[in-house]
């Protein structure tokens, strides 16, 4: 197990070196965007392999995707000139985009926890797993999107990966459509992270791009779900901005699913009447 972790960490360091080479090859002082292609990545892999013969890259597209998906932050050698992210610029074309703000979504430390009766079927809890799809199963069965957004939400699709015009591959963890009391219709793209990962604007802006292109007539309400170490779920609604620097948190609430007997009903009922 220890040897496997060390091997994985070495692979991460090798990929960091690849992406550093790609960045430095294409960087121009003062540029807000640094364009590159998959061909640049392949060239950089070959360069790293010359100095580190043990490095074998079996998944070239994943070298770029691990950064755009938020699985791993860009290396310090890239971020030293200011925070940036990788965005698609067409098929097999990308760019490092300079940002004014950090990519990470910050969770409010003193957020109150709202206890809700857990309606997740036991068989789902048994087999759902501990990744983001397990988190989203709890959101779905407990209608947390309805509760949080105060509209009726209908689950449409999950783990949707496709291409958007001029921006390349995009992915949405989960997708809902919704209705409010006046009959207005909404599209709700959702990005989720389990407790070991953190939400990032990298994925938020991608899912906004995809939902806007596919459902231009619907009102956009992008949302995020962050699982916490204690098992609670923090739900967030974001501004539907086109640029990462303009993505802001509109509302944030923390829910914990517990047996009905553990819900402090009297306390929560009286608080709701204030």
- pLDDT per position as a tens digit, 137-164: 999 999 999 999 999 999 999 888 777 6
CATH of domain 2-98: 1.10.10
Region of 161 please: left (phi>0), alpha (psi -120 to 50) or beta.
beta
What's the burial of 120, exposed, middle or buried (CB within 10 Å: 0-12/13-18/19+)?
middle
pLDDT tens profile 189-211: 999 999 988 898 888 998 998 99
- Check pLDDT > 70 for residue 21: yes
> How confident is the model at residue 68, as a pLDDT?
80
What pLDDT does residue 2 have?
A: 62
Q: What is the pLDDT of residue 150?
A: 97
Q: What is the pTM of this model?
A: 0.83
CATH architecture of the domain 113-269 equals: 3-Layer(aba) Sandwich (3.40)
The pLDDT value recorded for residue 168 is 64
Residue 16 has pLDDT above 90, yes or no: yes
Decide which of 102 and 183 is more confident: 183
pLDDT above 70 for 274: no
* Domain spans of the chain, in order of start: 2-98, 113-269
C-alpha to C-alpha distance for 226 and 101, rounded to whole angstroms: 20
């Amino acid at each position: 197990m220890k040897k496997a972790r060390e091997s994985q960490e070495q692979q991460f360091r090798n990929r960091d070196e690849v992406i550093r080479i790609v960045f430095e090859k294409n960087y121009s002082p003062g540029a807000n965007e640094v364009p590159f292609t998959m061909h640049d990545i392949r060239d950089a892999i070959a360069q790293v392999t010359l100095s580190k013969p043990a490095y074998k890259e079996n998944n070239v597209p994943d070298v770029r995707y691990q950064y755009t998906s938020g699985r791993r932050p860009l290396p310090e050698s890239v971020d030293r000139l200011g925070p940036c992210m990788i965005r698609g610029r067409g098929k097999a074309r990308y760019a490092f985009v300079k940002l004014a703000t950090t990519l990470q979504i910050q969770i409010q430390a003193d957020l109150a926890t709202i206890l809700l009766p857990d309606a997740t079927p036991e068989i789902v809890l048994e087999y759902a797993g501990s990744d983001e799809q397990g988190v989203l199963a709890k959101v779905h069965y407990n209608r947390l999107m309805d509760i949080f957004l105060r509209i009726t939400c209908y689950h449409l699709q999950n783990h949707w990966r496709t291409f958007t015009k001029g921006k390349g591959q995009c992915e949405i963890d989960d997708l809902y459509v919704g209705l409010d009391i006046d009959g207005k219709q909404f599209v709700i793209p959702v990005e989720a992270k389990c407790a070991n990962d953190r939400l990032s604007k990298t994925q938020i802006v991608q899912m906004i791009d995809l939902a806007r292109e596919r459902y231009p007539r619907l009102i956009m309400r992008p949302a995020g779900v962050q699982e916490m170490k204690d098992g609670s779920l923090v739900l967030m609604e974001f501004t539907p901005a086109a640029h990462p620097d303009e993505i802001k948190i509109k509302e944030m609430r923390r829910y914990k699913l517990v047996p009905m007997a553990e819900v402090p009903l009297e306390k929560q009922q009286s608080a709701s009447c204030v």
